[in-house]
Amino acid sequence: MLNTTRLAGLGRYLHRPVFFLLVIFTTLGAMSLLTAAIQDGGINPVELALLILYAILMLWITASFWTAALGFARIMRRLYRRAPVSAIQARQENAGEPFKTALVMPVYNEDPERVFAGLRAMHQSLIETGAHNGFEIFVLSDTRDPETWIQEEIQWRRWALELGQPTRLFYRNRVENTARKSGNLADFCRNWGGRYRYMIVLDADSIMTAETLVEMVRRMELDRRVALIQVPPVPVNRSSLFARMLQFAGSLYGSMFAAGLSYWQQDTANFWGHNAIIRVRPFAEHCGLPQLPGHEPFGGEILSHDFVEAALLARAGWKVHLADDLGGSYEEIPPTLIDYAKRDRRWCQGNLQHSRLILARGFKSLSRIHFTMGVMSYLASPLWLLFLIATGIEAYFRSLKAPVYFFGDNVFPVWPQSYAVEMATVLWVTLALLFLPKLLSLVLLAFDPVLARRFGGLPRAALSVLIESFFSVLLAPVLMLFQSKFVAAILLRTTVGWPTQERGDRQTGFGEALGAHGVHTLIAAVAGVMTYVYVPNFFWWFTPVLAGLALSIPVSMITSRTGLGQLTRRAGLFLTPEESNEPRVLKLLEEQLAAPKTAGLDIAGKRDAWSQAVLNPATYALHAFLLPDETPNRRRHHALEGLIFKLQDEGADSLTTQEKRTLISHRDGLYELHTLLWAGSSVSRSSRTDQ
């Protein structure tokens, strides 16, 4: 027994060499195939470019493939081995002095109803497991929109009253949202971090079960050198076809990828920004983020803070784990292709910014690999685009002297005698690396009938994989162009904002689809005609890419349809375990969202929240109570007066969102506004009395 444990311990040292050797040898193998295929009488510059691009892309693909394959092996192994839990459970009860864990949810202009419904669901889940006393909830608002701000306060007040004493629900809105989310978390640590041993960072759409929350804390207690445990979130709750396909893929393939990542990342895993538990003191000590020298998009504030924070913790000698074996961690995803691309736009700049950190001094090698992979997740698209262009150029030159690839009734390309086998092998190897993980996931289901039933049964899951693969082929070139455009824009020093993610279900109309994909369709038409005329042999190879682009408008619209998503659900397609056997916490979320609003501080409608804050005495009093007690200086007083005059003279519609926020950001200005509006003749009686 001891020998087995020791061997297992030693085996851990082999994980990374095994993974990286597999990646390198597979890449070299594929490279040798391509070299053999194109090397007929030397290599010209285009071919050299092709080889370099192919090498980079193959590294990316093989890393992904072997991650999935190793994850597959791990899960298969787990299926036949029971995890030893008793020893761990026994130690849990001996956890020394009492401590609290903060559930922190940084929010920025998010739907307050959804934010608080999610937190309520998690809290209820904790109550049901009897673990709620160990947790406190912190809503860290960076919301700038005054309407949303007021609604957050109302939601907080309502729930806090329901919970009563002792207070376990806290809320604050930051005066300045310096350094965005990382600054928000840092502000929390600086002011209240000493109160907690751990914080579990949530996103506005995060949902976690109580069992998982408790287990995360338990694991942290087990190993005092662990600073962060990331639990991979599974996408849930969306009903459009696009989102359901992503949810299915995330649920089925995601577990395999997470298991593979955990296999080779070991103690230097990554932070994904949310659904993770963090040891507060080391986080405060090591994760204060500096500004990068230079200007945006590559300088300034670090946008994607999570990777950097994980790297800083690892640099300081702390362990960062990926708990791939823990379920009960959920998130919501963008409902449509266009929203998905918008989110990518936001993330792209953050990830590309990491390119400056890859070679920064002191980071662990694996942290550098995380940075590189983050960069590559967006840089891969323009590289694929360049690869396609280079292939087209190469095909054109070959067409001037080489025979055609397609003729007669042949469905598959017929290569010239000299390199037909090698080129076909390159193609099939690449396709195998891309699609084998999908097949492996079905093998997993075949070996785990219980899990297979949760995915709607093996036949339906197989059909779902087939359809999902078809759509992913269609969507891949569109995402390639989107991401290439984003990368180009960022390289041209165009900055992006940090807009709120679209979280609810919505559908893409024709106008929106045309605006987003019109260029894609045009590119498909031009590239199609050019290849058909100048390189007809290449045209047929190119058809999957062209089809994706040419059909992007209808595909984008069709996949955004919630009706179609629900239809596939009724047909048992793209079913996920969370849909077939809905976890309690997700049911609680649904109940919270469906619950009728209680009396008291309800607001009439979203648009009226700001007006209520300045007119309704109850809302005004609540808002004033939550504002910091500051003595006004003369300059601010005059600025507020100016805004009040503007409001009186030109009406509320003349004020910008920022001005509205400024007006209600200080107790003195708010009081002045409140009394003036109640005294004013411009405000109708009904608007005052109807509050």
Partner 1 sequence: MGTRIGASFPDGTEMLAADWQPASQRVSDYLTAMGVSEPLDMERLVAQVRLRVDSRAIAAPLEDIVESAIEETHALLDEWLVAELGHEADANNLEAARAAVLSGHVSGWSARWVSFIIGLTDHSLAPAIHALTILPLPEPAPLVMDANVIDLCCHRLRRRIAAAICRFFCHPELRTPAHGGSS
Positions in 646-665 near partner 1 (CB under 8 A): 648
By CB under 8 A, residue 285 contacts partner 1? yes
Q: Which of 61, 150, 287, 352 binds partner 1 (CB under 8 A)?
A: 287
Q: Which one of 137, 280, 603, 640 is in contact with partner 1 (CB under 8 A)?
A: 280
Contact 328, 206 (CB under 8 A): no
**One character per residue 104-143, x = contact with partner 1 (rule: CB under 8 A):** --------------------------------x-------
Q: Does residue 622 belong to the site contacting partner 1 (CB under 8 A)?
A: yes
Phi/psi at 685 (5° precision): -65, -40
Residue 362 in contact with partner 1, rule: CB under 8 A: yes
Q: How far is the CB of 200 from partner 1 (least distance, A)?
A: 17
For tokens 């165009």, name the residue: 494
Alpha-carbon distance of 293 to 295, in angstroms, equals 7
d(CA 613, CA 604): 12
Tokens for 650, please give them: 């030109």
C-alpha dihedral sign at 505, 507, 508, 511: negative
- Using DSSP's 3-state secondary structure scheme, residue 423 falls into helix
Max CA separation in the chain (angstroms): 92
> Contact between 180 and partner 1 (CB under 8 A)?
no
Per-residue CA distances from 249 to 205, 256, 330, 569 (Å): 19, 11, 14, 14
Q: Which of 6, 77, 190, 224 binds partner 1 (CB under 8 A)?
A: 190
| Rounded-to-integer distance, Cα 14 and Cα 569, Å | 43
Positive/negative CA dihedral, 644, 650, 652, 657: negative
Q: Decide if 165 contacts 244 (C-beta within 8 A).
A: no
| Sole binder of partner 1 in the list 404, 488, 595, 621 (CB under 8 A) | 621
Q: Among 65-73, 493-501, 578-586, 622-630, which window interacts with partner 1 (CB under 8 A)?
A: 622-630
- Indicate the helix (H) or strand (E) that contains 373: helix 365-399
- Among the listed ranges 119-127, 235-243, 418-426, 621-629, the one in contact with partner 1 (CB under 8 A) is 621-629
601 binds partner 1 (CB under 8 A): yes
Closer Cβ to partner 1, 43 or 163, answer by number = 163
Q: Please, what is the minimum distance in Å from the beta carbon of residue 111 to partner 1?
A: 20
Rounded to the nearest 5 degrees, what angle is found at the Cα of 270, between the Cα atoms of 224 and 217?
A: 35
- Is cis: bond before 45, omega within 30 of 0? no
E-strand ranges in 521-657 read: none
Toward partner 1, which CB reaches closer, 96 or 362? 362
For residue 300, the 8-state DSSP code is B
The stretch among 34-42, 279-287, 419-427, 428-436 that binds partner 1 (CB under 8 A) is 279-287
Nearest Cα to Cα of residue 623 among 669, 679, 690: 669
* Region of 33-41, 337-345, 561-569, 671-679 interacting with partner 1 (CB under 8 A): 671-679
Interactions with partner 1, residue window 30-49 (CB under 8 A): none
Of residues 348 and 622, the one with the C-beta less far from partner 1: 622
Binding of partner 1 by 210 (CB under 8 A): no
Beta carbon of residue 522, minimum distance to partner 1 (angstroms, whole number): 37
The alpha carbon torsion through 526, 527, 532, 536 (nearest 10 deg) reads 170
| Segment lying near partner 1 (by CB under 8 A), choices 67-75, 155-163, 382-390, 576-584 | 155-163
Question: Using CB under 8 A as the criterion, what x/- string covers residues 545-584 for binding partner 1?
Answer: ----------------------------------------
317 binding partner 1? (CB under 8 A)? no
Least distance between partner 1 and beta carbon 153 (Å): 8
Query: According to CB under 8 A, which one of 122, 204, 208, 292 is a site residue for partner 1?
Result: 292
- Pick the binder of partner 1 from 172, 244, 305, 569 (CB under 8 A): 172
Q: In what order do the strands lie in the sheet with 329-331?
A: 207-208, 329-331, 234-235
Give whichever of 192 and 538 is closer to partner 1, judged by the CB atom: 192
Nearest Cα neighbor of 175 from 690, 668, 664, 676 is 664
Spatial contact of 501 and 334, defined as CB atoms under 8 Å apart: yes
The only residue of 407, 428, 534, 625 in contact with partner 1, by rule CB under 8 A: 625
Identity of the residue, 106 or 334, whose beta carbon is nearer to partner 1 in the bound complex: 106
Phi, psi at 686, each rounded to 5°: -65, -40
Structure tokens at 537: 């042999």
DSSP string, 539-560: HHHHHHHHHHHHTHHHHHHHHT
Pair 211, 126: CB distance under 8 Å: no
Binding-site residue total for partner 1 (CB under 8 A)?
A: 65
Binding residues (CB under 8 A) for partner 1: these are: 136, 156-157, 160-161, 165, 167, 170-172, 186, 189-196, 280-281, 284-293, 308, 312, 356-357, 359-362, 600-601, 615-618, 621-622, 624-626, 629, 648, 667, 671, 675-676, 678-682, 685, 688-689, 691
